[in-house]
């Protein structure tokens, strides 16, 4: 091939080896002439057009070839103006309507297909559940019939690589590329963020968008495209159908997410390019720029033109030239800008009118160069002037001088911007990343624990750590406990709607240690620091490191605006908050990481930490918590007692002390004390979220269900309503309180937060069970069991069995538990086996007699002798005549002696034994002292029976009615209830009422 440049004609002719011209590329004024000829030709009848083209071919072959090409493109476009223009290979997809994947299928051993969302030129898109990351995703499949075509896999790869580079809240996240097989054929797919909502196109069909809302949405679109342009990525198919609108709970409005970078291209020198045999016209004609329609090279200004068309439609409610036939409208847009937007809607602000007009200039050189320049024009408020196009000579020296002055000015501005005032509003949220030990000295690996405990004494800032944001971590493909680099930390902060990130690093300079701390404000557009406040603190040796951290925390608290009185009140040193043993801190830090995957190993490590410092209260507390989780209750309570003794001997920070005392009281079922400590935490540290979450449960158990509801509503408001489990708790509390409509509203909100499989159905079961809709409740629990993972299915099988028993379907309930017990035995689920054995014993005793009760209950206690299990098993034994065994089993409750968990449990068991012996007075004597310690969510059947036996029907009825008021708590925690208790409560209540 020979490229021959003819300057006089502004034409490049490409000649093959025979000397025959094969292609012409227009430049300069020649292109304007071709556009004019093109418009004239389209207005001619077909026969006249052919004759005119023949004459033009003789006079100017290059111009004639370009005009023919444009006419051919437009004739092709006539039949599918509403659809993307696609190369011929896409016809293969439309020729094969069958779905590639089916619902329920698992792709690559990881993604479970839920439903088909749609199909397009590059394949089908499904909603899928990512079993590894435990979150819903959109899964886009390259159909097998296309995978073998040249360049298809490369283009699919390109969509992943380009889209993954763009980290912006306004761009749909692309996660990963995967490969699998379907019927023996290679399968290529990518996974993306699943966005619930509607497209801008769907919204526009419903009518005009209010002006203020439209402006806000358009600014977000421009900023998202600017983020792509900064990475030299051009979308090329920007249109309302590729803009998703999703709810933004904190702001109460909508946010945008740009979709489908399948037609995108990189245009930087080092960007990815996919070669093809010939240029291909891609995009959607009604939103194409003139250069796309002419099949000329695209630039960032191409996306600017598409933005102008979208902005025109959003603000006016109409497309430009919508009164014209579609083809004529396209032709006119290639010749000149459409009428101004204000000519359609006079209320459009002048700034927006001028921005749209400049975006819609036919010549790309007259538009904004890219979306960054566009957003600057929108934010500056200055009048937008049309760009005048004329050549101008600029010397290299002028360029160099201009660049130098600009660079110095930019650097000066950046420094000023980064070092501005650090004071922030009270309650500003800060993501506290794990402090990095860069010294190479492993004994200092506990640094992160010490500094986190130190800085979180602040009552001014609302700190959270990455592990507090498990849902958002899943979205950026991280797990709790993963160390985050700076970019991932900023990304997480934006996802969690946290404006500030705190980084800390310990290094060495000579013989000194240097503790560097930097607070950053994250720019949502760039995910870089919009402002930063760094500082360094030196320590001459390890013993002085605590002082360096102490000084760093005090500096940061002062710099951000915390009052001196607050700092003085809450200002313990790091070694007082945790321990002065670096070895103990290192073991504690190691245990925290272990706990994600190896809880028994974490317990051993925490034991080592406690041995290095016996007064390390946090180590004892964490060890107790982990032991209880593993049902090693006796050891767990010993560890908890050690934590409490450590608190008495060595005071620590107010935050840690209140947290430990509250959690201990909660575990011991001392609801009043737990609520008191949690509320004190909320008062002293008003910006902590977790006390609000934890306090709601003891409040409910105290009979203050309306207060639990209010607390959860406030927590949802504080956190922006982003967490599905918060909505689930609100649903449960409303259902228990009988607020059916409020529970249903919470269920609808929960669904929008993408809970794991089965959780939506479990919530629906709670909703229907509480409202008495038995058929819907059963359908929901069955659907949940079909979707839950094995462990969850096992747990909620017990709930279903309890519900069946309550409906007097005893045979079904027993069979369900029996089948599940076999599965639990195969899977090694000890705790679940123990729970089911007690439930099965109670149900079979009612159905066919007590012959199997003793063996089942004793086996259950051998498997798991936790307090709740012991209490249930002993009650079932006593009610079925095994009083001696019940008394012996109850001795396991002595591990919690002196706490409500032990004293209430022991009193209930002994009362059941007295009632079995026909001694209601003795039972009442045991139960009355602990009456105020008991949870309102548990059955008080034995108390009511004792009262009734003493002819105190009035008080017995009151106790039974109170039990029924909270009875639906059983469906949230079947482990706490004895099957059939509430059926018996209703029966006894009716008898007592009838006798009055």
Strand runs (DSSP E) across 330-435, as ranges?
429-432
User: Do residues 23 and 322 make contact, with C-beta atoms less than 8 angstroms apart?
Assistant: no
Around 539, how many Cα atoms within 13 Å sit in the side-chain half-sphere?
A: 20
Cα(306)–Cα(324) distance, rounded to whole angstroms?
19
Stated length of the chain: 996
For 41, which DSSP code?
A: H
DSSP per residue, 105-149: -EETTTEEEEEEEEEETTEEEEEEEETTTTEEEEEEEE-HHHHTS
Which residues lie below 8 Å from residue 159, measured CB to CB, with a gap of 6+? 122, 174, 190, 261, 262, 264
Name which of 560, 514, 566 is nearest 540 in CA terms. Answer: 514
Residue 966: alpha-carbon gap to chain centroid:
32
3-state secondary structure of 773: coil
Beta-bridged to residue 561, according to DSSP, are none
Cα(477)–Cα(465) distance, rounded to whole angstroms?
16
**Buried (b) or exposed (e) across 525-557, using 16+ Cβ within 10 A?**
bebebebbbeeebebeeeeebbbbbbbbbbebb
Known binding residue 854? Answer is no
Q: What would the 3-class secondary structure string for 313-339 be?
A: HHHHCCCCCCCCCHHHHHHHHHHCCCC
- Phi, psi values for residue 430, rounded to 5°: -130, 130
Which residues lie below 8 Å from residue 579, measured CB to CB, with a gap of 6+? 585, 588, 612, 613, 615, 616, 619
Residue 354: alpha-carbon gap to chain centroid:
39
For 369, which DSSP code?
A: S
User: Do residues 738 and 769 make contact, with C-beta atoms less than 8 angstroms apart?
Assistant: no
Residue 904: alpha-carbon gap to chain centroid:
40
Q: For strands 512-522 and 2-6, give the pairing.
A: unpaired
Cα(931)–Cα(980) distance, rounded to whole angstroms?
22
Name which of 529, 517, 451 is nearest 487 in CA terms. Answer: 529
User: Do residues 947 and 956 make contact, with C-beta atoms less than 8 angstroms apart?
Assistant: yes
Cα(963)–Cα(78) distance, rounded to whole angstroms?
72
Residue 195 zone, left/alpha/beta (φ > 0; ψ -120 to 50; rest)? beta
Which residues lie below 8 Å from residue 396, measured CB to CB, with a gap of 6+? none
Cα(236)–Cα(234) distance, rounded to whole angstroms?
6
Which residues lie below 8 Å from residue 157, measured CB to CB, with a gap of 6+? 177
- Phi, psi values for residue 955, rounded to 5°: -70, -35
Tokens describing residue 108: 């690559």
- CA distances to 166, 218, 524 from 223, rounded to whole Å, are 12, 9, 9
For 382, which DSSP code?
A: P
CA geometry: angle 742, 744, 750, nearest 5 deg: 105
Name which of 517, 535, 503, 335 is nearest 430 in CA terms. Answer: 503
- Known binding-site residues equal 140
- Known binding-site residues for ATP equal 140
């Amino acid at each position: 091939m020979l490229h021959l440049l003819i300057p006089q004609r502004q034409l490049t002719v490409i000649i093959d080896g025979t000397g025959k011209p094969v292609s012409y590329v227009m430049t300069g004024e020649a292109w304007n002439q071709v556009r004019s000829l093109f418009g004239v030709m389209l207005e001619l009848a077909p026969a006249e057009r052919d004759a005119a083209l023949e004459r033009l071919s003789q006079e100017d072959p290059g111009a004639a070839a370009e005009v023919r090409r444009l006419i051919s493109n437009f004739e092709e476009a006539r039949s599918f103006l509403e659809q993307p223009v696609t190369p011929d290979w896409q016809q293969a997809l439309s020729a094969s309507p069958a779905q590639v994947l089916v619902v329920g299928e698992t792709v690559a051993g990881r993604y479970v297909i839920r439903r088909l969302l749609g199909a397009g030129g590059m394949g089908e898109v499904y909603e899928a559940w990512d079993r590894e990351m435990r979150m819903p995703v959109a899964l886009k499949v390259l159909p097998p019939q296309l995978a073998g075509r040249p360049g298809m896999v490369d283009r699919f790869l390109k969509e992943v690589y380009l889209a993954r580079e763009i980290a912006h809240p306004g761009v749909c996240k692309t996660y990963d590329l995967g490969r699998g097989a379907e019927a023996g054929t290679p399968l290529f797919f990518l996974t993306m963020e699943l966005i619930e909502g509607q497209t801008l196109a769907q919204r526009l069909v419903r009518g005009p968008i209010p002006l203020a809302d439209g402006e806000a949405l358009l600014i977000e679109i421009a900023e998202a495209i600017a983020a792509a342009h900064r990475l030299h990525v051009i979308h090329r198919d920007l249109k309302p159908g590729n803009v998703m609108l999703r709810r933004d709970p904190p702001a109460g409005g909508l946010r945008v997410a740009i979709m489908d970078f399948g037609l995108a291209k990189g245009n930087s020198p080092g960007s990815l390019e996919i070669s093809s045999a010939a240029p291909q016209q891609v995009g959607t004609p009604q939103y194409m720029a003139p250069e796309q329609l002419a099949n000329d090279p695209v630039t960032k200004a191409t996306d600017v033109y598409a933005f102008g068309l979208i902005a025109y439609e959003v603000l006016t409610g109409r497309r430009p030239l919508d009164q014209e036939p579609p083809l004529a409208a396209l032709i006119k847009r290639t010749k000149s800008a459409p009428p101004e937007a204000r000519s359609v809607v006079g209320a459009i602000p002048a700034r927006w009118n001028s921005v749209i007009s400049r975006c819609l200039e036919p010549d790309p050189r007259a538009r904004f160069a890219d979306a960054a320049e566009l957003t600057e024009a929108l934010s500056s408020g200055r009048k937008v002037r049309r760009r005048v196009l004329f050549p101008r000579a600029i010397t290299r020296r002028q360029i160099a001088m201009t660049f130098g002055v600009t660079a110095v000015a930019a650097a000066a501005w950046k420094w000023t911007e980064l070092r501005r005032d650090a004071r922030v509003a009270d309650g500003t949220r800060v993501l506290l990343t794990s402090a990095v030990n860069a010294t190479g000295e492993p004994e200092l690996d506990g640094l992160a624990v010490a500094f986190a405990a130190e800085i979180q004494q602040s009552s001014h800032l609302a700190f959270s750590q990455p592990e507090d944001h498990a849902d958002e971590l899943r979205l950026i493909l991280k797990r709790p406990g993963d160390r985050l680099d700076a970019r991932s930390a900023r990304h997480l902060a934006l996802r969690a709607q946290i404006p500030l990130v705190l980084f800390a690093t310990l290094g060495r300079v000579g013989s000194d240690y240097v503790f560097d701390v930097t607070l950053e404000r994250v720019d949502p557009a760039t995910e870089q620091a919009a402002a930063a406040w760094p500082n360094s603190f030196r320590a001459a040796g390890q013993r002085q490191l605590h002082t360096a951290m102490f000084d760093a925390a005090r500096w940061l608290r002062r710099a951000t605006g915390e009052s001196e009185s607050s700092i003085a009140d809450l200002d313990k040193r790091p070694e007082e908050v945790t321990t002065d043993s670096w070895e103990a801190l290192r073991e504690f830090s190691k245990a925290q990481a272990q706990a994600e995957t190896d809880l028994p190993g974490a317990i051993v490590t925490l034991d080592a930490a406690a041995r290095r410092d016996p007064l390390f209260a946090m180590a004892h507390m964490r060890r107790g918590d982990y032991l209880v989780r593993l049902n090693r209750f006796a050891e767990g309570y010993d560890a908890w007692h050690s934590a409490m003794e450590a608190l008495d001997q060595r005071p620590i920070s107010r935050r840690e002390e209140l947290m430990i005392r509250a959690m201990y009281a909660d575990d011991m079922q001392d609801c009043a004390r737990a609520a008191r400590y949690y509320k004190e935490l909320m008062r002293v540290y008003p910006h902590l979220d977790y006390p609000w979450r934890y306090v709601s449960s003891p409040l409910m158990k105290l009979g203050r269900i309306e207060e639990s509801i209010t607390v959860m509503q406030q927590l949802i408001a504080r956190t922006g309503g982003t967490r599905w489990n918060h909505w689930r708790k609100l649903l449960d509390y409303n259902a228990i309180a009988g607020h059916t409509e409020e529970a249903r509203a919470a269920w609808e909100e929960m669904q929008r937060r993408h809970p794991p499989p089965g959780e939506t159905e479990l919530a629906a079961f709670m909703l229907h069970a509480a409202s008495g809709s038995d058929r819907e409740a059963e359908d929901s629990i069955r659907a949940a069991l079909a979707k839950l993972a094995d462990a969850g299915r096992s747990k909620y099988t017990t709930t279903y069995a309890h519900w069946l028993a309550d409906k007097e379907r005893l045979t079904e309930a027993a069979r369900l538990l029996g089948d599940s017990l076999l599965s639990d035995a195969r899977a090694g689920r000890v705790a679940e086996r123990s729970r089911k054995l007690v439930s099965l014993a109670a149900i079979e005793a009612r159905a066919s007699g007590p012959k199997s009760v003793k063996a089942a209950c004793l086996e259950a206690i051998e498997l798991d002798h936790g307090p709740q299990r012991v209490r249930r098993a002993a009650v079932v034994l006593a009610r079925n005549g095994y009083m001696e065994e019940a008394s012996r089993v109850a001795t396991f409750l002595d591990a919690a002696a002196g706490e409500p968990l032990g004293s209430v449990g022991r009193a209930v068991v002994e009362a059941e034994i007295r009632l079995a012996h026909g001694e209601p007075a003795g039972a009442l004597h045991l139960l009355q002292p602990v009456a105020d310690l008991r949870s309102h969510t548990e059955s008080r059947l034995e108390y009511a029976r004792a009262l009734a036996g003493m002819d105190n029907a009035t008080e017995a009825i009151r106790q039974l009615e109170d039990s029924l008021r909270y009875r639906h708590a059983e469906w949230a925690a079947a482990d706490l209830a004895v099957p059939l208790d509430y059926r018996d409560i209703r029966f006894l209540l009716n008898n007592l009422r009838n006798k009055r």
